[in-house]
């Protein structure tokens, strides 16, 4: 097998607390300096993501969340730990552009080691670690190694609508020792909701 070792530094991308402040329920909360680590292998080697366990002001450590550009889908395999996947599809304006604060469909799915989960085209997605260990996944998302800055966000994904809304339509929080959802009040409308058996709570 021919391995291009010049790509090795580009394979590793840590997602820092500083960057994650954009999308946290409490941007002033205390968290680890790195929330999750990505080893990008692309389709050939798969990508591996490792989440730290823990919460920031009660919110479980999660990925930033993104929408795909174009009709891209992907499958995630859960290798270790357990978590919750959030998927949401935004309403489109008359030009087919996503409206950041209007959700057509929201879905929460509990996953654990051994499971796989399919992210359909058009659905933004994030994954939170609800276990007391690392959460580890592998996925088939294509990676553009041509990007200038290896730590920057991958080119196939659109992070802007998530950044504008300070995260997805719900935050996943620890409540009496188990996960529950808290609504992100910045969203104007959420048409269809499937909470996957999770409670929705109000924070004081």
Residues engaged in binding Fe ion (CB under 5 A): 141
With respect to Fe ion, which residue has the nearer C-beta, 130 or 141?
A: 141
With respect to Fe ion, which residue has the nearer C-beta, 20 or 180?
A: 20
The sign one gets for the Cα dihedral 127, 131, 137, 143 is positive
Residue 34 has a CB neighbour count (10 Å cut-off) of 16
State the minimum distance, in angstroms, from the CB of residue 17 to Fe ion. 21
**What is the C-alpha separation between 121 and 171, in angstroms, rounded?**
22
**What is the C-alpha separation between 28 and 73, in angstroms, rounded?**
33
With respect to Fe ion, which residue has the nearer C-beta, 137 or 141?
A: 141
Q: Which helix (H) or strand (E) holds 16?
A: strand 12-16
- What are the CA-CA distances from residue 48 to residues 117, 141, 173 (Å)? 15, 10, 24
With respect to Fe ion, which residue has the nearer C-beta, 141 or 184?
A: 141
Burial (CB count <10 Å: 0-12, 13-18, 19+), residue 16: middle
State the minimum distance, in angstroms, from the CB of residue 74 to Fe ion. 5
The sign one gets for the Cα dihedral 52, 131, 82, 28 is negative
State the minimum distance, in angstroms, from the CB of residue 199 to Fe ion. 27
State the minimum distance, in angstroms, from the CB of residue 85 to Fe ion. 11
With respect to Fe ion, which residue has the nearer C-beta, 75 or 166?
A: 75
State the minimum distance, in angstroms, from the CB of residue 75 to Fe ion. 10
State the minimum distance, in angstroms, from the CB of residue 126 to Fe ion. 9
Q: Measuring CA to CA, which residue among 68, 102, 110, 76 is closest to residue 198?
A: 110
With respect to Fe ion, which residue has the nearer C-beta, 117 or 173?
A: 117
């Amino acid at each position: 097998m021919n391995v291009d070792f010049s790509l090795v530094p580009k394979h590793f991308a840590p997602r820092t607390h500083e960057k994650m402040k954009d999308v946290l329920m409490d941007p002033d909360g205390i968290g680890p300096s790195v929330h999750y680590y990505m080893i990008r292998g692309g389709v050939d080697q798969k990508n591996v993501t490792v989440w730290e366990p823990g919460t920031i002001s009660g919110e479980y450590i999660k990925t930033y969340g993104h929408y795909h550009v174009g009709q891209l889908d992907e499958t995630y395999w859960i290798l270790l730990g357990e978590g919750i996947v959030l998927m949401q599809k935004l309403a489109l304006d008359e030009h087919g552009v996503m409206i950041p604060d209007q959700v057509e469909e929201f879905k929460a799915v509990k996953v654990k080691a051994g499971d796989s989960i399919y992210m359909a085209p058009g659905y933004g997605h994030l994954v939170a670690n609800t276990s007391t260990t690392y959460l580890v996944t592998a996925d088939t998302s294509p990676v553009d190694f041509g990007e200038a800055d290896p730590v920057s966000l991958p080119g196939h994904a659109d992070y802007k609508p998530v950044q504008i809304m300070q995260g997805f339509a719900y935050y996943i929080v620890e409540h009496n020792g188990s996960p529950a959802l808290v609504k992100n009040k910045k969203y104007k409308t959420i048409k269809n909701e499937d909470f996957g058996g999770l409670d929705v709570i109000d924070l004081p």
